[in-house]
Structure 1
Amino acid sequence: MKPRFNLQDIDFIKMDAEEIQDRVLRKIEERMGVRLFPADPRKLFIQSLMPIIVGIKNDINYTGKQNLLAYASDDALDHLGVMTDTARLPAVGASVPLKLTFTTDGPHVIPLGTRFTPNNELVFSTVERYEFVGNHITILTKCTTPGVIGNGYAPGQIDTLVDPLPYFDAVENIATTEGGKDIESDDAYAARIHLAPEKFSTAGPDGAYIYHAKSANQDIQDVYPYMETPGTVEVICLMQGGRLPSEEELAEVDAYLKQRHVRPLTDKVVVRTPNFVDYSIDVTYWIAEASVYQEQLVRKKIEAAVDEYIAWQHAKLGRDINTTELIYLMRKNGAARIQTQGMEHVTLKDYEVARLTTKQVTYGGVDYGT
């Protein structure tokens, strides 16, 4: 279990099995006044208990760590969140507008909770009751199963009515389903709890704006608030995986930050996407002679390392475009020699994020000089 916040790992009790066994044996020999030799059944019995004793100590150590924000997970983390009035953000169902067509001009009634499906498994239902006259209408629906599972259904895929409607003819989604979010992850939740003391001030300090922006949407990975024009606070948001926020997500954060108990009266808040700084990857790599026997495996690992670098590069606002990190990851995964073309270190401002334009990864063969 690795601690969060770049803290050093700690243990509440010693976990060395050999040290525990030696201590137990010495204590028993001292109390019994005998020497227990390797083949002594009593010693073998004591040794057989060591996995149980070590397991108990491990449970004690784990329980102690669950009381610390750096280690806590699941329900234990939820209980720590209560101390700062910071609840875990729940899963949210995807939403999408549907176009319904009828064989007559009505009047028609679509009850609240009327269900539609793309695959007879997921269900999207109406969020309000509709009454209208005409042969078609566009309505808003939401997935009844919370989470990202409801995202990504392309226009036309939701085409089946579950609950019968009089004179119904056809249905289709007119946009891609989106907005579904899984329950807030342990690491993201712990980071918000860590920021929670900032919320006891209105969103004036940087940390308060970061806390409140992340509380608006669990998919937000990074936030940078800054003031270039006096009185105007620009809040830059970056989503999980380096994705830019949609207009709906920006509006969601904007509405949250403009609540009276959050925004100072003197602040004009503008929520926006980061500025792009484009870069390209053009790299050729060679593997060592010793790796020839597993050439395909090594090549896959090296090319996966390039993808890991791209994800790392896009994951944080203001992260410099750092070719050294790419070379490090490729070397770590088996590249013996690496040659880059036109790739330089670029310093980014805190409201900027890197954007990959082209990617060229070339296998140069075996470097027999390594």
Structure 2
Amino acid sequence: MVDLKTLPEPEFITVDWNQQYAEIVKSYEQIVGIPLSKGQVESLMIATFAYRENLLRIAINDTAKQNLLAYARGGMLDHLGVLLGVTRLPAAAAITTLRFTFETALTSPLLIPKGTKVMSKDNKVIFATSEDVNAGTGIAYIDVPASCTEAGESGNGYLAGDINQLIDPLPYVQTVENITLTYGGADIESDDHLRMRIQIAPESFSTAGPEGAYEYWAKTAHQDIVDVAVWSPEPGKVKVVPLLKGGGIPDADMLAIVKNILNSEKRRVLTDQVIVEAPVVVNYSIDVQLYIYTSFSMLSDVILAKANDNLQSYRDSVKEHLGVDIVPEQIVEILQKITGVYRAVVSQPVYTTLARNEVAICTGITITIAGSVDG
């Protein structure tokens, strides 16, 4: 797959105020037959006209670039997606499991209707049951799936027991609380994620089950899926490993969502057995010593801050891709680009190759100034 970021930026029409100004001045001088000085009123008016023309040229360039996948955004990106049958994923609500505990074992069946609302203890979000559930006699509690009443990320991250205020009264219910971490809430699909799916969408047209098709449909399962590894360990078996944004590891529920998407008879080759697994985490830490030029000694704090920012960017990039090797030389290269750094010595990590189903997660960054040199 072509990395869109490596493509040269197109210029459909030249954007250069100086050129526009010079051309208009030349035309004016040819018409009136006398040279024009910059202090004249006409020169100031021409400068304004050139500025307005330059703005128009910028708008023309931007409009033209909206027809290209690498630069399209918003509604224009949606239109490009429609050409390949790809639509933007809507915002998704966070989900969890609510446990309704009764005062005593039920002596008669009790209906917990769909839409029964329970509020978080911080009074910020409300979850509602996703289906009608009949609690039979003799049971002390029952677990019911529920989703946040508001789509988006606001419902994510509530620990077990945080959703515990019953809004809609129910007889015999003593307590209610979530027994799983709330997760899965997502804002409407971002341009970058949609652009990635549009680029690989043609892979989904095949009925032979290529790697790209499984990758496309897996990324369609949820907006948080940023990378997918697909391979066949043996004939008839396909392994799919999804990775969530920020290096998140999908839980059993998220893996089930992906598996359900892939197991559709219109998407999976009949002879394929699809196995969806979570990535394997490979932890590493970064420990580096910097030697700076003596002339930059007074700026050591600035250099440390820049080094820390660069390494955090490196860490964040690596953890959102599967199978990316840990290469100390890449860390050295990042640090050597900082003005004032003479030499970077990496104590950790060591060179480590990762399998396609592994993700490298940085557990800590330590940077020290080891000394200064004249260079």
- TM-score higher than 0.5: yes
1:219-263 CA distance string (max 9 Å, x none):
222222212211212222222222222222222111111110001
Pick one of 110, 125, 128 that aligns with 1:122.
125
1:111 maps to 2:113: yes
Which residue of the partner structure matches residue 192 of structure 1?
197
Distance between the aligned counterparts of 2:303 and 2:128, measured in 1? 49
Which residue of the partner structure matches residue 144 of structure 2?
139
Which moves more between the two structures, 224-233 or 285-294?
285-294
Q: The residue matched to 1:339 in structure 2 has which SS? A: strand
1:16 maps to 2:16: yes
Q: TM-score, normalised by structure 1?
A: 0.89
| Unpaired segments ≥5 residues, structure 2 | none
Q: Is 1:216–1:252's contact at 8 Å kept on the other side of the alignment?
A: yes
Q: TM-score, normalised by structure 2?
A: 0.88
Distance between the aligned counterparts of 2:116 and 2:62, measured in 1? 47
Which residue of the partner structure matches residue 291 of structure 1?
296
Count of equivalent residues: 367
Task: Map 1:276-287 onto structure 2 (within 5 A).
Answer: 276-287=281-292
* Matched residue type, 2:90: P
Q: The residue matched to 1:293 in structure 2 has which SS? A: helix
Which moves more between the two structures, 130-139 or 222-231?
130-139
Which moves more between the two structures, 110-119 or 225-234?
110-119
Distance between the aligned counterparts of 2:170 and 2:348, measured in 1? 62
Which residue of the partner structure matches residue 308 of structure 1?
313
1:82-132 CA distance string (max 9 Å, x none):
001111112211011223345575764443323222233322112123443
Distance between the aligned counterparts of 1:332 and 1:144, measured in 2? 48
Q: Is 1:292–1:366's contact at 8 Å kept on the other side of the alignment?
A: no
Which residue of the partner structure matches residue 351 of structure 1?
357
Structure 1 residues 103 and 320: CA distance shift in structure 2, 3 A: closer
Structure 1 residues 29 and 169: CA distance shift in structure 2, 3 A: farther
* Matched residue type, 2:129: T
Which residue of the partner structure matches residue 173 of structure 1?
178
Root mean square deviation of aligned Cα: 2.5
**Cα displacement (A) at 1:37:** 1.7
Which moves more between the two structures, 223-232 or 292-301?
292-301
Distance between the aligned counterparts of 2:160 and 2:209, measured in 1? 42
Which residue of the partner structure matches residue 256 of structure 1?
261
* Matched residue type, 2:297: V
Structure 1 residues 274 and 131: CA distance shift in structure 2, 3 A: closer
Which moves more between the two structures, 257-266 or 46-55?
46-55
Which moves more between the two structures, 316-325 or 334-343?
334-343
Task: Map 1:6-155 onto structure 2 (within 5 A).
Answer: 6-101=6-101, 105=106, 108-118=110-120, 119-132=122-135, 136-155=141-160
Distance between the aligned counterparts of 1:304 and 1:38, measured in 2? 46
Distance between the aligned counterparts of 2:154 and 2:160, measured in 1? 16
Structure 1 residues 247 and 117: CA distance shift in structure 2, 3 A: same
**Cα displacement (A) at 1:52:** 2.3
1:299-346 CA distance string (max 9 Å, x none):
222123222222233232222211111112223345433222364333
**Cα displacement (A) at 1:277:** 4.6
Structure 1 residues 113 and 290: CA distance shift in structure 2, 3 A: farther
Which residue of the partner structure matches residue 267 of structure 1?
272
* Matched residue type, 2:26: R
| Unpaired segments ≥5 residues, structure 1 | none
Name the % identity.
Answer: 37
* Matched residue type, 1:124: F
